[in-house]
Amino acid sequence: MNSKLRYAVTLAGMTCVTPLLAASFIEDSKVRLDIRNFYYNADFRDGTGVSKREEWAQGFLLNYESGFTQGDIGVGLDALGYLGVRLDSSADRTGSGLLPTTASGEAVEEYSKGGLAAKVKVSRTELRYGIALPKVPVLQFNGSRLFPQSFQGTQISSSEIDGLTVNLAQFNRTTSPDSTDQQHIMLAAKNGRYSTAGVGDHFRYAGASYKPDPTLTFSYYHGGLEDVYAQHFLGATQRRKLGRGWLELDLRAFFSHEAGNAKAGRVDNEAYTALVSYTLDNGLSMLATYQHMEGDTGFPYINNPYLPNYVQYHDFAEAGERSWQLRYGYDFSHLGVHGLSFYTSYIQGAHLDKRGGGGEWERDVDVTYEIPHFKGLSIRWRNALYRSDINRGIDENRLILNYSLAFK
């Protein structure tokens, strides 16, 4: 075969095969646009420092997920894009987590950020590199503001064995909700629990979840921030039908210690938690938790701890702390008011041994209304009251209007 004929055959083959390879990539793609209006207000009730944080912002969140090309090795591409616009703010009210601030202390008028993630799939194993929103027990992204916290790095997820899911990852940078810059990952030094917010070059985790049957799950994860801390997690959950509803039991245990050069100082914490919930077929739900801290330091985490008593404002994870929570919820669709739901919870903490004793409590109310005649449109009000013997009290309100559009 001469070179011209070989070129023609090759070109014809590529012309025929390329659409087949790209078919699933395009046909299985998903696009979602969230148009989000977020108002935040926090009044500090005592102590010194800023007395109020209040900002209002408009956000646009674009999430694109491609399918995979056909063949034994599938290739895909995901993308996240965010645009935020200031609606109201002033230099004496910034710090809500909604908007970045300039060197002068003023909130920016608008900001944008985003990222790409390449993915490769072989059988039931997937490799991803790029922007990520991790959600495993030892590392959870924070999605409580206008935009979520994102991470940059490599992830591997595999479910080759039925019932078993294995996850590994290394992240080198993170972007906080109110920032556009990629930053080093650091330990959250909430309430001065650690002398410094230890910074590491990377965060790694490895772990697995096993489901011997659809109602039961066992999990183990190990994660850590280089030269700051290491953490082991053990968990078990069970959900089963009981009477007129569903009963769920969730047990978690964390074991944490300093690692490497211990850039944040000593880390010595064991956390044990238990959660039991019961959801009735008539829309009523009830939940109770117990959270127990052991060791000389508070619970170490990056930004969003996987603790049942980490609620709207506080985490109840000081050294030596014991806390419990009671929660009540109701879905009003069972009374004919479709789309309306709410819950209220009360959390009490005591025995804050390493902070001079004392106690603290928080009461939360969360109301969501998904407007029936406008699919994807919802309004949510979140209110929290927090009082403490060792920290400043706060009254906090968040009002979120969100319109979600999905495109296939």
DSSP secondary structure of 178-240:
T-SS-B-EE---GGG-SSS--EES-EEEEEEEEEEETTEEEEEEEEEETTTEEEEEEEEEEEE
d(CA 398, CA 41): 6
- Domain-embedded: residue 6: no
Positive or negative CA dihedral for 171, 177, 183, 189? negative
Q: How many domains does the chain have?
A: 1
Q: Which residues contact 236 (CB under 8 A, 6 or more apart)?
A: 216, 217, 218, 219, 249, 250, 251
The residue that leads in pLDDT, 325 or 408, is: 325
Q: Collapsing DSSP states into helix, strand and coil, what is residue 243?
A: coil
Residue 5: how many CB atoms within 10 A of its CB?
9
* Res. 371 pLDDT band, cuts 50 70 90: very high
pLDDT at residue number 355: 59
Residue 312 falls inside a structural domain: yes
Q: pTM for this structure?
A: 0.91
Question: Does residue 1 form part of some domain?
Answer: no
157 contacts 139 by C-beta, under 8 angstroms: no
Q: What is the CATH number of the domain that holds 182?
A: 2.40.160.10
SS3 107: strand
Check: CB of residue 68 under 8 Å from CB of residue 76.
yes
User: Is residue 383 a part of any domain in this protein?
Assistant: yes
pLDDT exceeds 50 at position 13? no
Residue 359 placed within a domain? yes
Residues facing 396 on adjacent strands: 42, 384
Give residue 363's domain range.
Answer: 24-407
Question: Is pLDDT above 50 for 31?
Answer: yes
Tens digit of pLDDT for each residue in 32-46?
999 999 999 999 987
Check residue 70 and report its DSSP letter. Answer: S
pLDDT tens digit string along 45-70? 877 778 899 999 999 999 999 999 99
Domain membership flag for residue 15: no
